[in-house]
Amino acid sequence: MGDLIRDHRDSIVAAIDGDFGGRSRFETLFAEYFVLLDSLTYTRRRLRGWMRPRRRHVDWLVAPGAANRVVPQPLGVVGVIVPWNFPLLLSIAPLLSVFAAGNRASVKMSELSPRLASLLAGTSGRYLDAETLQFVPDSGGTGRAFAALPWDHLLFTGSGATGRAVLAGAAPNLTPVTLELGGKSPAVIAADFPLETAAERILWGKLLNAGQVCLAVDYVFVPERSIDAFVRHCQDIAAARYTDLNGLDYTSIIDERSYRRLLDTLADAEARGGRLVNLCPGQVPDTKRRRLAPHLVLDPTDDMLVMQREIFGPILPVIAYREREEVVAYVNGRDRPLALYPFARSRAEQAYYLTRILSGGVAINDTLLHVGQPDLPFGGVGASGMGHYHAEEGFNTFSKLRPVFTQGPVSAVQWLFQPPYGRRATALLDLLSRLKG
């Protein structure tokens, strides 16, 4: 897979740019291409250790000479359903785990990634035969039929609504499914953390790919007395970093439907009493290229669309809080998030949120970067997904960890517990039960 993406790097970048109608070249190279090469290097270095049989303890009752081990073995053929927002990363990264475990794969690309899908489908055969890997372009409607095929494992990345449909489609075949979904991932800035630093790191993660990231901060809790200062920092940061929203460093919204949805989300928030802050007020984004200026939404309420569904765009609701208990109660009253981003200097404050809010993953004092750590698993919990991939957990997900017991020369169980079960067998079982208890 490394040769495929290295040999076609520029063509891949151009294809993704074309599918988006304007995608930052640097963001494609950094957030997709580089992360893949890093993960590939990590996997190669550790694969031999993952493949080794794993010795397990043998119960003493079995008798000397017996052995237990767990042997990783391939599952077979894995189906992978890929979203459009990081189409290279989210198609190739799963394959690193799939192939490391010895499987074959079929990858269904998004209908919103036709150029990249065509490129990968047309070039992959030079590196792996069609029996090992196939890329399947989607002109619309292929996903449901793909999920219903009798895969040995199915990995889906996308929205919660589609994830439920994929799970239902896989159920008749009892296909095991790994779901990587999204949701509303919160950040919280503790009073002891430098506000400007938090604003810089949150905006970086929020505006990468124009906010079209499943792990992006979907709303941020800011101490009530710091709201105005946080807004000023965000305005200054955006003015310095995004001097031209129509330039090469800012990404377009993927299609007209998504663009209109985001405009409607802003209009709904304003109509319901929210205060909108355009972080690039002097610029006129190109509507034909679906460039949307980054916005803060102040005073958000639960009846607003921006607080009811995953935003997937450059819009950040800001919630004022007084006590940290308010934050925990709010987040725990909703679906489990894919990520949690606590910003706090105090270890005790970090631990407070870490132990009281369950999420798929956590990045402390930053955003997004945990997903790029090659030795960390990635996955959601509850409504944000099920199962893991990346790292050794990915190898395990796409393997059958097969337990193997080898009996020694003498079987104590067979010798001691043969019917008819008399007093001796019963007394011995009672004794062993007391010893085990």
Residues 156, 157, 161: CA angle, nearest 5 degrees: 90
DSSP 35-91: HHHHHHHHHHHHHHHHHS-EEE---GGG-TT-EEEEEEEE-SEEEEE--SSSTTHHH
Query: Are the beta carbons of 187 and 338 closer than 8 angstroms?
Result: no
Q: Is 310 a catalytic residue?
A: no
Rounded-to-integer distance, Cα 326 and Cα 391, Å: 35
Q: Is 214 a catalytic residue?
A: yes
Distances (CA, A) of 112 to 157, 277, 370, 397: 14, 30, 27, 28
Q: Which of 27, 32, 180, 349 is flagged as catalytic?
A: 180
Distances (CA, A) of 131 to 76, 123, 128, 156, 275: 11, 15, 8, 21, 55
Residue 315 pairs with which residues in a beta bridge?
295
Rounded-to-integer distance, Cα 302 and Cα 299, Å: 10
Determine how many CB atoms are found less than 10 A away from the CB of residue 156: 27
Distances (CA, A) of 329 to 238, 279, 401: 31, 30, 39
Report the Cα 330 to chain-centroid distance in Å: 22
Which among 130, 104, 178, 120 has a CA at the least distance from the CA of 387? 178
Determine how many CB atoms are found less than 10 A away from the CB of residue 346: 12
Q: Which of 27, 214, 280, 349 is flagged as catalytic?
A: 214
Q: Which residues are catalytic?
A: 180, 214
